Chains A and B, each alone.
Chain A
């Protein structure tokens, strides 16, 4: 069997001594798209932050492997250089940092870590133009400070733009669909689908089955109280929609 793109082994994470993740096991093979659904506060964002390396997330046991390599000792920028990307549930506004300056810094930082030359300005401009056209991103938005004054939907689109430009091999998207109107959902989903490929995997956290009509997942995982309690094919999302989370909580309890 080939190396999975992401392998989470019995991951336990505590925040300020409180255990939030209680033994997460999850494997995303190369080229697959997996979805995580779970009720509010079940620990989905905690999982995404722990994978990305945010400070204050105490990994008490377990491991996270990206393309076969443990990343838990790496700083967030090193994980990104290894090909990890997290689309934030709540993207951060950064006054004083121009969006374009930021995009260029991020793209060049990653190139540098791969030992590649920096992009020329025309190359960079072209890459941004193409990617933003694909996502119907308004040019004026790119002239502003990063995420500052962006609407909820614009912020999510900007996250996907970054993802497209950085070409990660593992994309974790934390509720990228929330805050998007119906048309935007369509555009963003198409953008995400374009990024699908045999060398790129995705972990999509969402509350809405609707997104999974657009981005059809290979597998769906149900998250409850810091654990994956059920996994199945794309129809699991429909089942969840119909039955609610309660059945799955008890399923685990009985196991």
Chain B
């Protein structure tokens, strides 16, 4: 970054700075004082101007109440790891292939990104989980914020051993308060791992939700992820990844369900560093009322990463006036023998299609819901776990019903 005058810090920024100082991270506090939160002039935050959007930073909370809240999203047969108010849990007996431990600090690597810096500076410890073998039940991290408005900084590190097959679910929920969460998930994928990663944000509509994922991806891995956002007033989900072993294929995907007043940002940044890796990225947004969905996707192909095949697609549906979808795809390709591309289609529901359904007696609201569900279905189809799939469908249905109820 170029030399510039230290900015005037907003109230929220001053609070964050004070929290950094209180955490004894003077270097981070100094650096934060220099730049504050990013504005739209910072490329990566062009559509999510945190300086303007973040108004309040609640007090830091690290030791959560022990009570386990009833989650909105749970599976009947999962191994659950509660992480309440960022606390590291005690989980008792673990099934075969799952080891839960702790480590100091954050799992994220250093990066020029304010949310990463805050997570690294403010995470005193991380939950560290090693997964090995054919891990049977879904491993569900219930990341939850209890009680009054709190700033929670929480870090999770997953070490997925070579050849492991596992589905990891992370849910983000909390009491109905103006929390601020800065979550991180660092994932190392050993050679040949088959890894499915689903994250679901259903936090309070008053909350601010930040989540940074970082994938280090080994050889011959099959990675599939799905980010579902239907909570928070402001959210930013970041996905950083490096393809570090050949023969790997990743399906990365996301769904923003965004309603009145919400601002929901998914930012993906994947780097191919070796030959013969492929990725399919599909991100969809459905937006109604005065709300904003953002997708930024960057694919970097380093010069030695020949035969990279990476296709990125962003699709959006704007259901009402005032709904906005902003997308920014970027390809940075330094190798010559690659197949990379990106596409973007955003629009309203197709009028002719709606007419066809209505001409069969299906009322407009129901016809719209059918078409929205059809639009989303492509993201849910690959989720083979039946219960997970049907509960994801329910999130979509609930969101649609809420819209129908509010519209009538």
- Measured CB to CB, the residues of A under 8 A from B are 52-55, 75-77, 79-81, 85-86, 88, 91-92, 94-97, 101-102, 105-106, 109-110, 113, 145, 162, 166
Q: Which of B4-12, B124-132, B301-309, B370-378 has 4 or more CB atoms under 8 Å from chain A? A: B370-378
| Cα-based distance from A227 to B361 in the complex (angstroms) | 29
A79 to B359, CA, bound (A): 8
Q: Which residues of A contact B375 (CB under 8 A)?
A: 96
* B362–A109 CB distance below 8 A: yes
Q: How many whole Å from B382's CB to the nearest CB in chain A?
A: 14
Known: A77-B358, A86-B359. 15 other contacts (CB 8 A): A53-B355, A54-B355, A54-B359, A55-B351, A75-B358, A75-B363, A75-B364, A76-B359, A88-B359, A92-B352, A92-B353, A94-B353, A96-B374, A96-B378, A106-B360
Determine the distance from Cα of A105 to Cα of B367 in the docked complex, in whole angstroms.
9
Give A75 to B375 CA distance when docked, in angstroms. Answer: 24
**Which residues of the other chain, A, contact B370 by a CB distance below 8 angstroms?**
97, 101-102, 105
B356 touches A92 (CB 8 A): yes
Q: Are B351 and A94 in touch, CB under 8 angstroms?
A: no
Interface centre among A52, A53, A109 (most CB of B within 10 A): A109
The answer to whether B366 has its CB under 8 Å from any CB of chain A is yes
Chain B residue at minimum C-beta to C-beta distance from A106: B360
Contact of A109 among B352, B360, B373 (CB under 8 A): B360
Residues of A within 8 A of B374 (CB): 94-97, 145
Q: Do residues B360 and A162 form an inter-chain contact, with CB atoms below 8 A? A: yes
Residues of chain B lying within 8 A (CB to CB) of residue A97 = 370-371, 374
Interface residues of B (CB under 8 A from A): 351-353, 355-364, 366-367, 370-371, 373-375, 377-378
Rounded to whole angstroms, the CA-CA distance of A112 and B360 in the bound complex is 13
| Residue numbers in A under 8 Å from B360 (CB-CB) | 77, 80, 85, 102, 106, 109, 162, 166
Cβ contacts A to B, 29 pairs, < 8 Å: A52-B355, A53-B359, A54-B359, A55-B351, A76-B358, A76-B359, A77-B362, A77-B363, A80-B358, A80-B359, A80-B361, A85-B360, A86-B359, A88-B356, A88-B359, A92-B352, A94-B357, A94-B371, A96-B378, A97-B370, A97-B371, A101-B370, A102-B370, A106-B360, A109-B361, A109-B362, A109-B363, A113-B361, A166-B361
Are A77 and B364 in contact (CB-based, < 8 A)? yes
Quick one: which of A53, A96, A113, A162 has the most chain B CB within 10 A?
Answer: A96
Which of the residues B352, B353, B362, B378 comes within 8 Å of A106, measured between beta carbons? Answer: B362
A104 vs B98: C-alpha distance in the bound complex, in angstroms?
45
Inter-chain contacts of A76 with B (CB < 8 A)? 355, 358-359
Closest Cβ of chain A to B376, distance in Å, is: 8
Shortest beta-carbon distance from A157 to chain B in Å: 16
Q: How many Å lie between the Cα of A54 and that of B362 in the bound state? A: 14
By Cβ-Cβ distance, the 9 closest A-B pairs, closest first, are A96-B374, A80-B361, A106-B360, A76-B358, A92-B356, A110-B361, A77-B358, A109-B361, A109-B362
- CB closest chain-B residue, reference A88: B356
Nearest-CB residue, chain B, relative to A145: B374
Chain A nearest CB: distance from B337 CB in Å? 33
The docked-state distance in angstroms from the alpha carbon of A102 to that of B370 is 8
User: Which of chain B's residues have a CB closer than 8 A to the CB of A77?
Assistant: 358-364, 367
Q: Which residues of A contact B373 (CB under 8 A)?
A: 96
Question: How far, in angstroms, from A110 to B360 measured CA to CA in the complex?
Answer: 8
Q: Which B residues are in CB contact (< 8 Å) with A53?
A: 355, 358-359
CB–CB B357/A96 < 8 A: no
A169 to B360, CA, bound (A): 13
List chain A residues, Cβ under 8 A from B356: 88, 91-92, 94
Closest to A91 in B: B356
Which residues of chain A are near B357, meaning CB under 8 Å?
94, 102, 106
Interface pair A52/B359, CB less than 8 Å apart:
yes
**In the complex the two chains form, what is the Cα distance from A85 to B260 in whole Å?**
37
Residues of A within 8 A of B364 (CB): 75, 77
Contacts of A55 in B (CB 8 A): 351, 355
How distant is A121 from chain B, measured CB to nearest CB, in Å?
17
